[in-house]
Structures are given as structure tokens and as C-alpha cells.
Structure 1
Amino acid sequence: MLDRSPANGTPDTGIPDSGSLEHDLLRLIEESREQSSDDPFRNPVLAVTLAITRRLDRGEIGESDLDGLFVRLREQSLAERAVRLRGYVGLGQDAPDAAMPARLVAAIPKGPADFETFRGLVDRTSFAVVFTAHPTFGMPKAVAALIAKAASEPDAGARAPLVAEAAALSTRPDPGISLDDEFDQACIAANHGRSALDAFNGAVLDAARGRWPDRWTELVPKPFAIASWVGCDTDGRTDIGWWDTLRYRIESKRMQLDRLMRNLPDVPATGVVRELAKGALAAVNRQLAVAPRLGTKPSLEAVHRFALALIIERERAQTDAGPILAGLAGAITAADNDDDRRTIAVLRSGIAAHGLSNALPHFRLNASQIHNAVRRVIDLEGEPTDAAQRRSHLATIHALLNDVQPVAVDFGALAAERASAARLMMTITQILKHVDGTHPVRFLIAETETGYTLLAALWLARHYGIADKVEITPLFETASALEQGIRVLDDALRNPHWRQYLKRIGRLTVQFGYSDSGRYVGQLAASFWIERLRLRLTELLAQNDLSGIELAIFDTHGESIGRGAHPTSLRDRLAYLAPEDARRRNRSTGIRVRLESSFQGSDGYLMFGTLPLATATVERIAEHVFALDIADEDAFADYVLSDASEGADETDDPIYAEADFATEFFTVVRQDMEALVDDPGYAALLGTFGPSLLDRTGSRPVARQSDGGGPTMITHPRQMRAIPNNAILHQLGYLANSLHGMGRAAGRAPDLFRDMRRDSVRFSRAFRMVQHASNVSDLDVLRAYIDTLDPAVWLERARRTQRDARRDELVVIATALERLDLAPNLRRLFGRLTCDWLSLHSAAPDLGKMSPRLTLLHAIRLALIHRIWFLAVHIPGFRPQSGITREALIERFLRLDVEGCLTLLEDIFPVTPDPTLGLNFGEPAGPRDVGTYESEHTTLFAPIGRYFTRVREISGMIQHEVGAFG
């Protein structure tokens, strides 16, 4: 029973307060876990779920009690998340590299070339922060802002009211998230990032002024940059019009001009550049005034008006940063004092790095769209990915490249174009021509699995006359792409047109994705295969005499261990993505590397949610990048950044000396994950009601519908996107894509496995991801969800209940679950996962376990799900409507398609208001056939809706406990 005694600070009113309820339920979790150690047949999570259900039945816990408890639990999880975020970016910790620029200058040996040595160190962009979206906005904007503010506060007392304010709000994401919403949030993060970069560049100039007082103004430091693909990512979506993309680029241009006008000193020296920027800003505002808005289908006249504004205002709006940069250079020379010169020089650095944009643009689409666009000029049968067609496609595209002629592009051609890839390439052409042509544009191609794709993209770029302004970038993410990636690049490099293109543009850019690779081969295995591909890529460039070009590596991942981002610290994350051995091999072959990393959705944007957070994030990036670059310079042979890079100890990492161990270990993980993905039970686990636990978290279209109504039954994980796949694993309490396969792999050589955990920086860092996954995973929780879908469990419960009405409910649920026939596959799946977990726990007995608070959230949510089902079985019988029977409706409730079912029930059981209400017809009132189903709505449908709202609320709370969405 609940302890409500006055001794515990709660008056004996019969109603628990949220504090005593929390204490009581957490104690119940602990006791149930202890009892299960003596009773192996007891599931401690289901036992607590049953206890909560009984208290709900008896009225000991009411809906208001749950809401009060949720506020308390939210406050604790949000407080911890703010502290974790603060620690993750190193804010407030001893961070010696906050003074990195001064330390760099101090480390430069004095000599004739010392200034040029420093210039070479800071004038090249070595790292780019890329803001990406996807459906990853898993919390409301207001909550994200409060978490960021709380994390920025050094004093716990100052954080408390911010956390309390956030805890009073729902954890569920904002409804109806649009692309505009995503763009706005990306811009907030980018603006904080740009301000942090300005501060860093200013510190570089300050340090240089002390050493080279006569030459420091010659420096244009731009070691870091900001980029974004929000509004430019058309992979898998058709809801982004070319006018939307153009408008976003113009808005980004306006922000850059605003920054310039806001920070430019109002002195005579800046008169020329001020007039240029003022005129450009006014012209850009006039262009935006006629730009079509998001979600509209603009008329041809509206498109024509927008196009004419871009063309008419083109010269005034500026389409290249050259004139403004020249004006800033002149202003630096003409300025009267060093303070003004410094301010102007910082602005010059920001524009030199980003052109006329607040953030550099990254465009993305799918390889199949490239193939479709070129197919109309290639007379070939078959698919380019077919091995039998490989040579013929490569030969044909080579022939096309031999005599490709550029064509003119106008907005009319863009408006008429239907092929996605051609339309996107034409959009880029118009952006370079009419918005900003300062820097080449990144063109990312998802699912690149053949060199033909790269050559076809090159043909398109040449066809539209922009080949020297587009960075064609393959994305290697699937298991096949990780295997075949080097062959893809080799096929392209064998073509002289591709080699000439790389030499002209001066950079080879590749993108590595952790989402699909991690969910199909396992996160740790994905890291190994990606690192192996990086090493082979370095060898390939050296073999092709291309060591003089820059290699840009863009790693896309979310903020979750389920998507490839290291959970312990930003230092670990950067070192995990760019291991020291790969960096060392790049240095030995003379290949300069530019690193890029995505910060995704509301979780990733948190690291740039305030200026203090953004500043700390930039400081950590500086530690990583300059530790890398300094090691590349002979002049710094004796220089060591103290505590600057956790990769500094990796020079002789034993994992590379034991190549066979590493290969075998990660091959086993990959094999086991691939087998798991093909297991029908795994699809059942993810797809039965997993998607319904999640709110929509972005603008990208999501749910497919089945012919029979409701969400499609998932038969293989490939039918859902990687982000919901990973998010569902979080919600079901077992992060299989970070854990599974590790047990069998460790068990093959347990002694060597333990040695690597102890001695290898690279391996132990990777394994810390497993440790974190273990902390938010629990087989008892997973088993509770699986047992919830097992009719035998419900029949056993019916056999033992003392309540006749409950027995009937349990039998109906069991019968419906029997029709779904999920249990056999799910039981086999649980056996597979358990066997591997036991092996892992034997090899690593120090792994942690899920916290009582997170376990409690799962138990409460299961009790709410069960309660929804108990109510659903009382829905009255009805004639089939739109092909939906009562039995089918109950099955949809079991899959938690609650929102869809309630919509149907509104039509099947309408509540019709009395149209004669208040009218006197002069006779005693007769019966009205209205309002017939008010009772069902009051006693069944409305409570189901409220319980489901709380189910989704808990999903948001679990997200905060895990630390990320998806």
C-alpha cells in the first residue's frame, strides 16, 4: 500500500501527493527487482505494471496524480539533461584551450617564415559544423530553449527555475512541425555558431597582433565554418519546391548582410562597404517580399514575379562576396584604430568563409534520381547498379562526357522541369547566378553504389555549366556501400573526366552516414567499416597521384548512440569520428583533410542553443582540429597540447597491431546484426506498436497507410526510416543496434577483449557506447513489452484474476492477440537477444543497468497501454463501416493506432446535438434520436484519448532519459 503517513510529510487524505507516489513506486521497482533475483520466472517490470493497474482500478492513483508525478519526473530528467549537456561540451570545466589561439602563436618557432606558418594554420577551413534536420525535432522549441539556458548557467540555483519552467510543459514535440519551423531552429543554432566563430577568429587576430603587430591585418582566419542542408535536402521528399529552396538561400543571405550591417563600425573608413551592404540588403528584402511561401503551390504568375525580382535586383543584391571583401580590406587599411580594424577583420573572415550566406548550403538527393535524369539521353537497358551492366554504363557516360555542351538555364526552364535531379541542378545554377556564387555548392548523393552515379552527376553539372562550382559527394551508408565504396570511387577515378574535375575543384568530398549502417550492421561495426573505408580512400588518392587535393569527410549522425554520435563527451565524439590512425595516415601521405560533422534536430541544436554553449562547442572543435594540424607541421614536433585531444594517446594503439582481432570482432557483430535485422520477430518488435509510441518530429512525410486502414504492418525494418527505427528501440528499452552481436564477438577471445578495453584508446572509446547503451537498456523491460503482445500471458492473468469483469476483458484481448500471431516470433527474438546479452555480460560484468526512474516510466506506460486495451474491448458492436469491423478495430487498438481509431469512432458513434433545443412545440417533449452515444464518448473514447496522450508524454520523457531522439 501507499505510505501516506504524516511522518512522510503527507497528510492522511487518502490521495497521495506526487512526491510520496514517486517514492512509493520507485521503492516498488527496487523491491520487485530484488524479488526477481530469487524468482527467475518473475518479470519485475510487469509485476510493477500490474501493481499500478490495480491501484488505478481501486482509485488509489487518479489521472491528476499521474500528471503531478509526470511533472516531478520531468523536472528530474530535464535537470540531469541540462547538467549532461553542460558537461558534454565542457562548459565551465577547466578548458585550457579556450586560449587556443594564444597558445598556437606561442608555439610558433621564431624565424623568417613564422607568420606564413601561422597563416597556413588558420587561413584554411579545417572543420565545418553542418546543421541537418530529418524528423528529429523530438521536443518543443520552448523546452529546448529552456534546457539550453539552464545548461548555460554555472549555478545550480539559477538552473532550477528554468528547469521547473520546462518541466511544467509537455515533453511532446510541437504539433505540425513545418520546414519553416526546422529552418528557423537551424538559423538560431547557426547564428549562435557564427557568433562563436567570430569570437574565436577575433582571438586569433588578437594573438597574432601581439606577435606580428605590423602584419596581423593580413590574416583572414577561417579555420571553421557553418553549413546547413535544411531546405535543400530533397532526398525522399517532394514537398520542397525549388522556390522554397531559393527563398531559404535568400533568407540566409539576408542574415549574413544583417550581421555585417549590425557589426560594421560606423566610421568613415567603412563608408564604401556600408553602402554596398545597405543596397544589397534592401534589394534582398524586395526579393523576399515576392517570394512564394512554404506549402503554397504558386501560380505561374507568382513564380514569374519572383524570378523577375531576382533578375532585376541581381546587381544591387550582390551575387559574389568579392566586392564586399574588397571593401572590407580597404576599410581595414583606412581605419583609425586597432579596435575598428579588429572588428572589420572579424567580419571579413566570416564573409570569406561563408560568402553571402549565414551558412554554406548542402544539397542532397538520391542516386536513383540522378540515374533517371540522365536516362533520357542514354540509350541503355538495365540498371547502373547491375554488375552485368557496369562496364556498358561507364563506357556510355564517358562518351557523353567527351562532348557535353552547357545549356542556358532560366527560371522558365526550371519551372517546367520535372526530373528531380535536373531540377535540383538547375536550382543550384540559379542560386550561383542570382543569389551567391562565392563558393562551390555541396551536392550530396544518397545511396551511391556505383561510380556511374558520380560520372552521371558530373555530366549533369557540365550540362548546366556549373561543374566547377559543385562538389559532387557520394554518401556511403548502407552495408553494401561500405563494402563497395572504394570500388565506386576507383571506377570514377579511372575516368579522366573525374580526375580532371577533382583537380580543378581541388577537393574530394565523401559523406559517411551512421544511420542506416548502424541499424543494419551495428553501431560499433559501422564505425570499424567506415574507418577501414577511410584508410583505403587515403591509399586510393595516393595511388592516383591526387595527394595534392583536399579530402573532405562529412560524417552524418544524430546525437544518439543509435545513430553514431558518441554519448560521453564532444571530445570523445570528435575523436571517435576521426580516429588518430586515419589522421596519421593522411598526414604521412601529405593529404590535407577537412572534417565536417552534422548536428541534427533539436538534440544537436542544443549544443548551439545559447552563445555560451556554442562557444564551448567551438573550443572543443578547436582542440581537436589544431591538435591534428599541429601534428602535421614539422615546426611543432616538440609541441604537445596538454589534455587537448583524447586521441593524443592513440599513436601506438594496440587495436591496430591486432588487426585480426579487430576484423573478426566486428565481422561477428555485423553478421549477428544482419541476422537480427532479417529476423521476423525483430520486424514485429519494431512495427507492431512501436511507431505509434512516437509523435511526428519533423516536416518529412512519414506514415504509409495500408489498404485496410491504419498504419502498415512492418514486415522488415527497411520499410521504416532509420530515425524511427532507432527511436523505437529507445522506447522499448533495449538498444539492440548498439548491443547485439557484442556478446558473441567478445566471447570469441575474451582475454584479448578485456586487454583491448584496458589498453586500446580507440577500442575502449568505442566500447563506451556499449556501456551507455547498457545504462538505458533492460531485458526485463523489453520482455514486458513482448509479454504484452503474448496471448498466453493474458490468458494466464485471466485464469488467476478474482474479478469476473476483468476476466472477460483479458480473454477478449488474448483472442485478439492470437489473431495477430506475433508471440512465436517475438519469443524466438527474445531468446536470440538474451543469449548474446548473457555472453556480453560474462565478458563485461561491469556493464551498468537501467535506472529505477527510467524503468518506472516504462512500467507506468505499460499500465496505461493495458488500460487503453481494457477500455477498447467495451466498444459496442457495430455494422462494418468502410470495411472496418469491430474485431479489426480492436486489433488496431492493440497496435496503438489510437488516434486513427478514435477518428473512426467519431463517425461510427456520433454525438448529435438536439436541433430543437430551447424550442417549445406546445406539447410534452417526445424522444429525440440525438446524443445517443454520449455515454460511450464520456466513459470510453475520452478516457482512451487521455490515456494515450500520457503514453506519448512518457515517450518524450524517455527521450530525455536516454539523451536523444532516434
Structure 2
Amino acid sequence: MRTVDDLIERLQTHHLRTKETPLFNPVFQLGLDLSRSLEAGDIDLDAVEALVSELECDSMQSRASRLRRLVAPVDLDENTAALRNSLTSQDFAAFRSEWERPQLHAVFTAHPTFLLTPDQSEAVADAASSDAEIGTQACVTGAERPAITLEYEHGRAMRAIGHAQDARDGIVGELLSHAAENWPDQWHALNPLPFRFASWVGYDMDGRTDIKWYDSIGFRLSEKVQRLSRYIASLEAIDAAHPLLDALRPALAYAEARAADFGEDLTEPEALSAAANRLTADDPHKLLSLTPLIDALEAEARDCDVARALRLKTLAAAMRADGLGMGWIHFRVNSSQLHNAIRRRIDPDNTLDLASKGAMATLREILARVKPLRSNFAALAIESSTAIRQFLAMAQILGHVDADAPIRMLIAECEQPSTILAALYFSKLFGIEDKVDVSPLFETESALEHGGRFLDALLAEDSYREYAQRRGRVAIQTGFSDAGRFVGQLPASLAIERLQGRLSQAMEKNGLTGVSALIFNTHGESMGRGAHPDSFEDRLNWPLSPWAKRRFIRAGITLEPEVSFQGGDGYMFFATPKLARATLTRIATIRPADTEADAPTDPFYRRTELSLDFYRAIRSHQRAHLLSKTYSRAVTAFGLGLLNSTGSRVSRRQSDLSADREMSLRQIRAIPHNSILQQLGYPVNVIAGVGSAADGNYEDIAGLLEESERGRQMIRLVRSSNALASIKTVAAYGELFNSAYWASRPYRGTESHLSDACEVLAEYLTKDDRTGVFRRLASRLRVDALKLHRLLSLLPDEHPLEDRENIRRTIGAAQALRLALLQHMFIKVVSIPAFSRANDISREDVLEMVFTLRIDEALAQLRRAFPTDYPQISDFAVDAPTDYPDGEGEGYMAIRRDYIDPLERAYGLCLRLSTAIANEFGAHG
């Protein structure tokens, strides 16, 4: 078996045996076949690496094909025509109304999903950007992974936003051109704003302590430098001698100097004082507002020819959208951080329940009488509270970097109105309430369950209504990561949808129909995090459904939808100018901010006697998994060792070796949780429960789902996930820890050279629980899957996955190859000679490290136990003769060569296979 085709052919042969032996596991058997070949020397790790490279290449081609399919067409002329054909407004007033507000706010977030290297991302994106057949040009295999720092993530975000800005300029130009052709006497009044961009990279403090406050200031200044550079380039392209360049160029030089100041280490008071004083001092080139420049460009456009006017107004539109940065910025804190901060003001003894009526009354009182305080960088430097520090940083940014662009304050795990009032208090205290949009995040099960009452109570507060009216919007955030992990993706999406409907009711009830509803749906890029993979229209309508949108439109509330494009996966949509233009064109033609107000009610919302029971049954099934020790143990069986490091934010809390055995799902974040499900072969949080929820009522449920667009959308998501899923693979991972398997493997003289290693493994694993855990989980999944297949057989497959069986077999081949590598690692580690305990680490601890794939730690201990870098006799100039040492001293070198280095190499190949499998699923986690 030297090629992937060979592996697939063998896997197909093994699949035939399941007819006669249903419990036969083709994936594990192929893994055993490969393991036997590897241990017998028929193939070596070089041959395995060749197979891994082939699978990597196939997965990158698959990823490029999927990306192209979602945004196609990618040709610029075709996208220009598609946009033009979609412009159907009959009068200028309607056209202005449609395009002078964002159809979508796009936020470039950076949770840890930087799976591909820059070279791999570029290859996939370039292949997807062309109409040519996707072949080996999409392949970069074995690429060295860069260190994923916050600076790296920020740089990638800015690169994606830069492409998005250029694409938006192209669309704005088309909108202006259309208006100029159709309404030549009115078009100058059009100020298009089809998209707005933002980022929280460098400003998100939820769950991390590694971002210093001056990092955030430095990032914002660097963004100002980038944006001014891009404005200058755009204006120079229009007119290299344009008089406004005399203002922009010195402003750029000034911003570059200040960015350099805040790019330094400012922990010492002297350094901070110098940088702060230069930034806060008056300077003729300290540009804080683009309003005068926008006015000048608009005025000039009214008095020049149409061609020049179009370009001037396009530049003015970009300035209006982005301000003095690459986009708007989102700071993020946790509600507990805000609670700790407000207690210093109202409850220093920590005796007050912040959810109580007494706390609310106190907050109303201090909000009514708070007087703004001046603040400076010294106050920011000495502040110990994370939440207050964020407000102080926002005050300095608004005061000294960009006075126009508002800032979002996202509050995670926000479950009580007092948290929002606390945020309003600090906004008012530091004089920035007119520029800060406070946005609660609804993501936990509790927040989704009680979110409606939360919104009713919050919008009934006079102080909040006054604030919302001043800002012109009510902003909320709904999250699909933890929600999808702890509730299940389908129930989470439906719960979020109901919460969105409750927001429209609360706004209408409390007289807030005159302000916008800005709903930030922070899904990721995988199915497990709320990114519907079937089409771009499904991607946009899944987190904010037409039913929810109609609730706002019928109430007369302007809707501002906002979504995230997350990390390395999300940035792929903007990785090239062509992809960025195609992505924004798809969005512009779908019009996610609009829907038909008078469309008939979807049966899913009308026949609630069926749909609610269906929803509750799926949620109950998902909850049972979450509470099950079997599920938790299976998901954490390898720790996070199946996953590459894909971001600067840590993926789990620290724990010792013994803690891995009882690791809670709450110890790992949503992205790695979903990634592990991909790697184990079955996206439980997407698929599980759908079949069981239909049990006993298949025909009625199938009839409802087929009749309902929302129902069909749910089934399209389930089918997309199920098409890649394999319960046999889940079961196969458990067999790695089966003592009986290892005891039987050299039975009757087969593989006698492995007898000692297999005996050690068999004896050691007699006390291991993972075989039973995986078997129980696979059994539960199988029963549910049988019911799912019965339901799906009653429903049409609207968009069957192209080449489905080959993709499944390819994933199966990758899984089998990794199973062989894991067995190779297990055999190698138990074959290493015994060594003495040191630093409280024993040989058994090292074995457990390998079995939980904490390989870096295991390698460090093994290299300590078997050093190869030690003093040689020849290093010394000693006159007296010696005959000792009389050996060559190669013993430890041989152990390194024969055991430790192969262990490291095999694990590296495992991680490359993890990348390939994630690519086949379309995203990391």
C-alpha cells in the first residue's frame, strides 16, 4: 500500500466484510494492516510521510473546491454583472434607503483557527480564485508552521480587511455608477454604505491575560497608519497632486511616529510618560476626524466630471465607513470583570447581590448623578481592574487616535441587566457614552433560556432607553460556540432565533422602534459553530433567519445584521482580491438585512405542537451527552493532543497528569471541543438527537421539515455533517486502548518481534477505561443514527455532496493511517529501556503522557532521561592516561535514533493528518 488509492481500495474491500460481520471495523482493520507493514519494515516513516503528503494535497484541493463553491462565481466581470442585475429599486429614495445602511457588518475575529500556514492558505485561496480545474496548485505539504502570536493574528486580520475594503470600494463604485446613470440629477446625494468592517483582534480580553493595555493602543495606532496609507494611495490614484494630500501625508508621518512609540515596551513610567505626552500633545498633524476631508471630497465631486466624481465619492464612502482605522473595533470583557469593577463603587464589602432589586436601584442612582472624569495614560497604567482599564483605553483612543469611529463593548456571559448598567456607568464616568455601544452576549444555556426576560427588564430601564436613543441602536451579541457545545447546534440556533424575536418585541414594547437593532451573530466557520456549509445564503440565514428578520421589519425597526469571519478559516473568504469581491457580491445580492415582510408564516413556527417537541427532544438528547461521563471521557481521551496549536489564546486550563483522566468539557474551549469531534470522526453536537427526536413520529416530522424552509435548512446542515461522519471511526479509537487487542496481536507467532512490547501494552492497559468508553459512545451514536437514517429516507436530499463516498473513504484512509502511527508511538514508548524516577516523573508517567498525546512533555522527559549532549573525554587536556571509558558511548544515541526520534516524527505526521481531516470538514473546530 504505497498510495492513497491503494488505501481506499483496501478500505473498500474491508467494508464488504461488514455485511457478514456487522461489528467488523474497516477503519481499524486498515490501521492494523498499515501498522503491521510499518512494524515489519515493509514500509517506513518516509513511505508514511508520502501518504500523508498525498492526503494533505487531496484535502487542500477539497478545501479550495468548497471555498470556490460557496462564493462562485469568482470572475470580476461576472460579479459586476451579478450586482448590477440585482439593483431593482424603482426610485432614488428607495435606492438610498437600501444602500445607505450596511447590509452586513463583518467582524474579523481571531479565535484559534489558524490551521493552515500562510503558504497553504495562499495556495488554497489562489486555486479557489481561478476558474481553472483545481489540481496540485492548491497543494503545499509539510509546511513549517509559524509561531501564532497575537501580532501574527492581527496582521492576518488587517490583510483580510484590506482586501475587503478594496472589494467594497468596487461595489460602492458600481452603486454610484448605477445611480448616476438612472438619476443624474440626484445621485450626488447618495452616500453608499453597503458594508462595515470591524475587528476585536488585540482588544478581546475575555479569557486571556496576555494582552497589555498599551498593546491595544499600539494596534489601534498601527491600524491608523495602514488606513491613512490606503487613503493616500487611493487619492494619489485619482490625482497625484490633489491638495488634500498635503493634509493626509503629514498626518500619516505623525501616526507612524506615535505607532512606533506604542510599539515599544511601556512598562516603565518614564517610557510611558514620554510616549503618552507625545500622543496627547497638540500637533497640527494630529488628525482625529475625517469629516472635513469627507466634506471636501463631496464638494469637489459635485463640481467635476462624472468619472472623477465617482472616484472621489467612493473614497469619501470608505472614509465614512472606516474612519481613522482599518475598521471599527470591539473591546470584549467578561461580565465577572465588570462586576468586580462596579463593586468598588457600590459594594466594597462584597455583600450585595448584583442581580437584586437593591443593586439595580443603586445603579440607577449612581447613573443619574455620575459626573464625567478626565483620564490620562498614567491613570490607565496604574489601573488594576481589567474592565475599567478597557474603558480608560477606549477613552484614550477616542480622545487621541480617532474621535469619530464608535467602539463596541462586548460583554461575555452577561446574564443580568445590572451588568449593562454597570457598563453604562463606566462609559459615562469616562465621558465616552456617546461613542460606545454596550453589547451583551447571549451564549450560555442560562443566558439563552432567560434572555427574553433580561431584554424586557433592560429595555424597561429609563437610563438604558435614553442611552439607546442617543446612540441610535440597541446592540446585542448571540454566540454559537459555547451554545452549540452545551445545547447542541440545532437547539442553540433555534433558541437564539427566539431570543432575537424577543428583542424585537421588547424594542416595540418600550418605544424603541426609532432606533436600529444591531445583532452580532458570532458563529465560527465550522458546522459545529454555526456556519452553515450548504450555501452562502444558508450561511447568512442560519444565524439570523427570515422569521426573526420579519419580526423587526413588521415592527418598523431597522435591522443591522453582523457576523464574524473567524481567524484563518474565516479570512479565507478575503484571502485574495477576487475572493473578497465574490464574497461581498454574494452578500450584496442576498441582502441579509432585508426580507419579505408579508411572506407567509413558515410552518415550522406555526405547527409548534410538532416543532417545539422536536426542538426539546434534540436539546434533551444533547444535554444527555453533555452530562454523560462517557461522552466527556471520550472527547477528552487524548486531551488536546489530536489538535495542532492554531492560535495565540490558550485552548485549555492547565492541569496535571491525573486531571486528564477526569478532564471536564468545561476545561476546554468550544473550538477545540468541536475540533476533537471532527478528529474522532463524528460531529456529535450537530447530528446527535435529530433521529431520536423523530422516533415514533417519523412521517409527521418529515412532513413538517419538508414543508418548512427552516426545517429543510436544518436538514441540509445535518446532511452536510452526516456525510462526513463515521461511527466506525469513533469505535476504532477506543480499540487502541484494548488490552485484549494488544495481547492477541502477536498470537500464535505472528509479529513475534513485537511480543515484548505488546505484552507491556496489554498489561498496562488492563486498567484503562477508554475502550469501554468509546464502545458505549459508539453504541449510543449508532442507535440515534439508525433513527436519523430512517428520518432522512423520508426527505429529499436537496444538495447531495459531490463525490460523497470518495470523500468519506479518503477521510477513512487518513484516520486509519493515523491509527497506525498512534500504534507505532505506543510500541516505541513501551520499548524504551526503563529509567529511574526523576523530578517526580516516572516511566509510567511518560507512558500516560504518550497515551494522552502530551507528546512534547513526554519527549522532554525522555531526552532528560537519555541525554546525548554530555562531556566527552576528548574535551579535557589531562596529562594522565586512562583506558576508561572503554565503549563508544553510543547507547543513548541509539535510543534517540530508534525510539525517541521516531516517536516525535510519528506525532508530527499525526498532526499533519489532523490538518487534512479538518480541511475535509471545511474548517478547524
- TM-score normalised according to structure 2 size: 0.95
What amino acid is aligned across from residue 469 of structure 1 in structure 2?
A: K
* Residue 909 in structure 1 maps to residue 866 in structure 2: yes
**What residue is the counterpart of 1:785 in the other structure?**
733
Which of 642, 647, 661 in structure 1 is aligned with 2:610?
661
> Where does structure 1 lack aligned partners over 5 or more consecutive residues?
3-17, 109-113, 638-649
**What residue is the counterpart of 1:10 in the other structure?**
none
**Structure 1 residue 805: deviation in Å?**
4.4
Q: Which range moves more in the overlay, 651-660 or 399-408?
A: 651-660
Distance 1:932 1:39 in 2: 48
**What residue is the counterpart of 1:167 in the other structure?**
140
Distance 2:237 2:644 in 1: 49
Q: Is the 8 A contact 2:410 2:438 kept in 1?
A: yes
Which of 518, 521, 524 in structure 2 is aligned with 1:552?
518
**Structure 1 residue 830: deviation in Å?**
2.8
* Residue 891 in structure 1 maps to residue 839 in structure 2: no
* Residue 121 in structure 1 maps to residue 62 in structure 2: no
Distance 1:522 1:401 in 2: 39
**Structure 1 residue 898: deviation in Å?**
1.4
**What residue is the counterpart of 1:6 in the other structure?**
none
Which of 288, 300, 316 in structure 2 is aligned with 1:348?
316
* Residue 679 in structure 1 maps to residue 628 in structure 2: yes
Q: Deviations over 1:411-443 (max 9, x none)?
A: 000000010000001000100100112132111
Which of 399, 402, 409 in structure 2 is aligned with 1:436?
402
**What residue is the counterpart of 1:641 in the other structure?**
none
Which of 182, 190, 207 in structure 1 is aligned with 2:178?
207
After superposition, residues 184-223 of structure 1 pair within 5 angstroms as 184-223=155-194
**What residue is the counterpart of 2:703 in the other structure?**
755
**Structure 1 residue 96: deviation in Å?**
7.8
Q: Is the 8 A contact 2:353 2:359 kept in 1?
A: no
Secondary structure of 1:594's counterpart equals: strand
Q: Is the 8 A contact 2:483 2:492 kept in 1?
A: yes
**What residue is the counterpart of 2:428 in the other structure?**
462
Distance 1:558 1:106 in 2: 32
Q: Is the 8 A contact 1:264 1:270 kept in 2?
A: no
Distance 2:870 2:689 in 1: 60
**What residue is the counterpart of 2:820 in the other structure?**
863
* Residue 407 in structure 1 maps to residue 366 in structure 2: no
**What residue is the counterpart of 1:303 in the other structure?**
272
**Structure 1 residue 117: deviation in Å?**
2.8
**What residue is the counterpart of 2:359 in the other structure?**
393
Q: Which range moves more in the overlay, 404-413 or 832-841?
A: 832-841
**Structure 1 residue 100: deviation in Å?**
5.9
What amino acid is aligned across from residue 853 of structure 2 in structure 1?
A: L
What amino acid is aligned across from residue 818 of structure 1 in structure 2?
A: T
Distance 1:698 1:928 in 2: 50
**What residue is the counterpart of 1:640 in the other structure?**
none
**Structure 1 residue 37: deviation in Å?**
1.9
Distance 2:399 2:696 in 1: 59
What amino acid is aligned across from residue 818 of structure 2 in structure 1?
A: R
Q: Deviations over 1:934-961 (max 9, x none)?
A: 2211111111111111111111111111
**What residue is the counterpart of 1:718 in the other structure?**
666
Q: Is the 8 A contact 2:371 2:428 kept in 1?
A: yes
Distance 1:106 1:518 in 2: 38
* Residue 48 in structure 1 maps to residue 22 in structure 2: no
After superposition, residues 270-289 of structure 1 pair within 5 angstroms as 271-289=242-260
Which of 614, 622, 637 in structure 2 is aligned with 1:688?
637
Distance 1:435 1:347 in 2: 20
Distance 1:940 1:489 in 2: 60
**Structure 1 residue 662: deviation in Å?**
1.5
* Residue 806 in structure 1 maps to residue 754 in structure 2: yes
What amino acid is aligned across from residue 692 of structure 1 in structure 2?
A: G
**Structure 1 residue 455: deviation in Å?**
0.8
**Structure 1 residue 925: deviation in Å?**
4.1
**What residue is the counterpart of 2:769 in the other structure?**
821
Which of 68, 81, 84 in structure 1 is aligned with 2:63?
81
Q: Deviations over 1:144-202 (max 9, x none)?
A: 0111111011112xx53522xx33343x7x24210110011111110010001000000
* Residue 148 in structure 1 maps to residue 152 in structure 2: no
* Residue 137 in structure 1 maps to residue 107 in structure 2: no
What amino acid is aligned across from residue 721 of structure 2 in structure 1?
A: A
Q: Is the 8 A contact 2:455 2:502 kept in 1?
A: no
**Structure 1 residue 555: deviation in Å?**
0.7
Distance 1:134 1:922 in 2: 63
**What residue is the counterpart of 1:642 in the other structure?**
none
* Residue 492 in structure 1 maps to residue 458 in structure 2: yes
**Structure 1 residue 629: deviation in Å?**
3.7
What amino acid is aligned across from residue 127 of structure 2 in structure 1?
A: A
Secondary structure of 2:262's counterpart equals: coil
Distance 2:912 2:209 in 1: 31
Secondary structure of 1:795's counterpart equals: helix
**Structure 1 residue 118: deviation in Å?**
2.1
Distance 1:661 1:384 in 2: 44
What amino acid is aligned across from residue 785 of structure 2 in structure 1?
A: W
Pick closer, same or farther for the CA change 1:100–1:842 going to 2, 3 Å: closer
Secondary structure of 2:831's counterpart equals: coil
Distance 2:859 2:237 in 1: 62
Q: Is the 8 A contact 2:618 2:690 kept in 1?
A: yes
After superposition, residues 531-680 of structure 1 pair within 5 angstroms as 531-625=497-591, 629=594, 631=596, 651-680=600-629
After superposition, residues 1-40 of structure 1 pair within 5 angstroms as 18=2, 21-40=3-22
**Structure 1 residue 924: deviation in Å?**
6.5
Q: Which has the higher contact order (CA 8 A, sep 6+)?
A: 2
What amino acid is aligned across from residue 133 of structure 1 in structure 2?
A: A
**Structure 1 residue 30: deviation in Å?**
0.3
Q: Deviations over 1:499-548 (max 9, x none)?
A: 11111111001111100011111111111111111111111111111111
Distance 1:610 1:860 in 2: 34
* Residue 765 in structure 1 maps to residue 730 in structure 2: no
Q: Is the 8 A contact 1:757 1:763 kept in 2?
A: yes
Provide the identity percentage.
Answer: 34
Q: Is the 8 A contact 2:338 2:422 kept in 1?
A: yes
* Residue 510 in structure 1 maps to residue 458 in structure 2: no
**Structure 1 residue 833: deviation in Å?**
2.0
What amino acid is aligned across from residue 344 of structure 1 in structure 2?
A: L
**What residue is the counterpart of 2:647 in the other structure?**
698
Distance 2:713 2:204 in 1: 32
**Structure 1 residue 214: deviation in Å?**
2.8
**What residue is the counterpart of 1:8 in the other structure?**
none
Q: Is the 8 A contact 1:281 1:317 kept in 2?
A: no
After superposition, residues 57-72 of structure 1 pair within 5 angstroms as 57-72=39-54
Which of 817, 836, 839 in structure 2 is aligned with 1:882?
839
**Structure 1 residue 579: deviation in Å?**
1.4
Q: Deviations over 1:745-790 (max 9, x none)?
A: 1224211222234222111112111111112210100000122233
**What residue is the counterpart of 1:941 in the other structure?**
900
Distance 2:875 2:411 in 1: 66
Distance 1:596 1:385 in 2: 33
Q: Is the 8 A contact 1:704 1:712 kept in 2?
A: no
Secondary structure of 1:365's counterpart equals: strand
Q: Is the 8 A contact 2:72 2:582 kept in 1?
A: yes
How many aligned positions are there? Answer: 914
Distance 1:31 1:267 in 2: 65
Distance 1:67 1:934 in 2: 23
